[in-house]
Structure 1
Amino acid sequence: MADIEERRPRNKATTFLLVLAAAAFVVASALRLLGIDGTRHMVATTALVPYFTAAGVLLGAIALLARRWFVGTVTLLVALVLVAAVAPRAFPDARPIGVGQEVRVMAANLLVGKADAEVLVAAVRDHAVDVLALQELSPAMVVDLERAGLDEVLPHRVFLAEPGASGSGIASRYPLTARDLAGPSTLRQAGALVALPGADLEVVSVHPLPPVTPDGPEPWQRDMAGLPRPDLNGPYRVLAGDFNATLDHVGLRRLLNHGYVDAADQVGAGLDPTWPADAVWPPPVVIDHILVDDRCPVDTFQVVDIPGSDHRAIVSQFVVPAR
């Protein structure tokens, strides 16, 4: 009898800890499942959905092994719903049939102009990039890119260079015409029409203000809402850059619902983290994306390390159908 009485406090403690962990998991999951961005802390939590999805599966299994049937069942059911949303990103989708002009687009956040320009230009050459979307493009970085030979590879450009993190730009193998596609935004988001052989392509260098600033996520939400939807009556469109959002955030999912596909998700690379580069804290997440008009079949996607930047560059090849 004494042994049984001594075990009861440990059993109650185990139950309490499992219930507490399960409650935290369910609340975090609800932000994603109900589409709530909320405060900056909620936005940051949603960015970690792939991590707490795996944690939820593990927690549910532990609860069942500990014979906490209700806690384990509820936790596993919620975790499985998240698995259904997250796991497909690791598997390629069927490529739609389509022929036309093959295009390779790269997006790179330059960390206020601190990225290694020579490595970036070398990556542009190695990956045969046709269009380069740049974020945090400073005037000094423009000079560094010119010295590294970017003009020799991508001679056409629409640059909105500014000190700090506000600047952006687009460089291209093909002629460019500047276009205001993103509308008013906190940071500069360059837009351009690319005159491809046989077709036109509009590109936006995306960089909404981060949602985790002390001012809260409202400017980020406005910037995301201002990004253009695909135009069925106009050129094909691509949004490429640092969205400061994952595939679990409402604003990005809304864009996908309006006619874009995420290039990484299409080829099974949707869980390859892009920020922070070469760091384990905060946990690496996927906030850099190339969103392609869903009429353009996606063939490849890669992440590329650029020394000096806290972001990994991303490259995708897709087909722009002839009109």
Structure 2
Amino acid sequence: MVKSAVAESKTLRADGPRGRWALLAPWLALIPFAGWSVLRLTGWEPKLRWSQLVSFTPYVAGASLLPLAVAVALRRWRAALAAAVVSGALGAAVLPRALPDGSARIAEGHRLRVLSANLLHGSVPAGAILDAVRRHRPDVLVMLELTEPMRDRLVAAGLKRLLPFEVSEAAPDAMGSGVFARQPLEADGPPFGWPRQIPARLALPDGGRLSVVAVHACAPSQGWRAGCWASSIRALPAAEGGTLRVLAGDFNSTLDHAVLRELIATGYRDAADATGKGLAPTWPYLGQPWFIPKVAIDHVLADRRIAVDAFTTLSLPGTDHRATLTDLIVPREEP
């Protein structure tokens, strides 16, 4: 009789308003995270705002521990198991970016340093670019949102004494791009896309060639512009054939975008991801308070035959992007 009364008392408590809420709360908390994980893992990117929202998956992965904590605190073990599965799925998509792949340890070849910067409509002081070039001594400088006045200021300040070779197409606002280098550089085809994406071919010391593309994808600033954004990523050359290639710049995409993962899968390696810096954000910084979430939309993609030795981000005045500095090891051409 005593056991029966206790069981009946528990049932009554579960059937009451507070009991029903305790049953539902973990599941209600889990629903948005479960939906997010399904969209992220399937790669389905519906229009509206998802092309922007998916960039924040690392933050959502961390927050997905909250439904798990709620379920455990309320002793709702089925909900806890479901929450653990969702957190695990999101974690599996995000956490490997914090682990280096060690590719540089087994590579030999030409060391190449690439500095890439979005200039925000040419707003970065020329002196800041020159200081960065002198301090970090890149072999290749990729600049996005390169305006004609900005290019003229850089040349007047002495950029071509440091990096004498140039392939560029300066243009108003956010439309121009350019590549400057220490070694001989030539155009590797016409600029393409809008904003302009610039293909160049760099001469290596052993007589080999390396293709370098200045990347500036269309921004998915409105949900219905996702077509422009995705097509500008798909216009980039795949990593196939005998040509060694590096893509550097503002992809307006994170590793949580299926279209960028598809490009990488053709045979590229993301430099930040390869060095365990894949969660290092690059945008937005200018005038933004600390609590505004930042995302990693600036990348260097290198052919998998090229080793990635180091990657870091740099702060430049006058722009909302962090610059990226990447050390690569390019294999020597076989005689």
TM-score between the two structures when normalised by the length of structure 2: 0.90
| Change in 2 beyond 3 A, CA 1:54/1:109 | same
Aligned residue for 2:313?
A: 303
| Change in 2 beyond 3 A, CA 1:246/1:40 | farther
* 1:57–1:80 contact (8 Å) kept in structure 2: no
Identity %: 40
Instruction: Please give the per-residue CA displacement for 1:122-150, whole angstroms capped at 9, x wherever unaligned.
Output: 11221110101111111111122223321
Radius of gyration: which is bigger?
2
* 1:179–1:191 contact (8 Å) kept in structure 2: yes
Query: Are 1:313 and 2:316 matched, yes or no?
Result: no
Query: Are 1:78 and 2:98 matched, yes or no?
Result: no
What amino acid does structure 1 have at the position aligned with 2:220? P
Aligned residue for 1:259?
A: 267
CA distance in 2, matches of 1:252, 1:149: 36
Aligned residue for 1:25?
A: 33
What does 1:21-60 correspond to in 2, within 5 Å?
21-60=29-68
Instruction: Please give the per-residue CA displacement for 1:263-300, whole angstroms capped at 9, x wherever unaligned.
Output: 11111111110001253464100000000111011101
Tell me the secondary structure at the aligned position of residue 229 of structure 2.
helix
Query: Are 1:144 and 2:153 matched, yes or no?
Result: yes
* 1:64–1:73 contact (8 Å) kept in structure 2: no
Aligned residue for 1:190?
A: 198
* 1:61–1:76 contact (8 Å) kept in structure 2: no
Q: 2:304 aligns with which of 255, 278, 294?
A: 294
What amino acid does structure 1 have at the position aligned with 2:309? D
Aligned residue for 2:100?
A: 92
Aligned residue for 2:141?
A: 132
Instruction: Please give the per-residue CA displacement for 1:80-136, whole angstroms capped at 9, x wherever unaligned.
Output: 122122111112112252211100011111111112221122112211101011111
CA distance in 1, matches of 2:160, 2:171: 19
Q: How many residues align?
A: 319
Instruction: Please give the per-residue CA displacement for 1:196-246, whole angstroms capped at 9, x wherever unaligned.
Output: 211211111111101232533001111111100123323x10000000111
Tell me the secondary structure at the aligned position of residue 284 of structure 1.
coil
CA distance in 2, matches of 1:241, 1:220: 14
Tell me the secondary structure at the aligned position of residue 103 of structure 2.
coil
* 1:31–1:42 contact (8 Å) kept in structure 2: no
* 5+ residue gaps, structure 1: none
| Change in 2 beyond 3 A, CA 1:166/1:281 | farther
Deviation at 1:38, TM superposition (A): 1.7
| Change in 2 beyond 3 A, CA 1:55/1:16 | same
TM-score between the two structures when normalised by the length of structure 1: 0.93
Aligned residue for 1:273?
A: 281
* 2:47–2:224 contact (8 Å) kept in structure 1: no
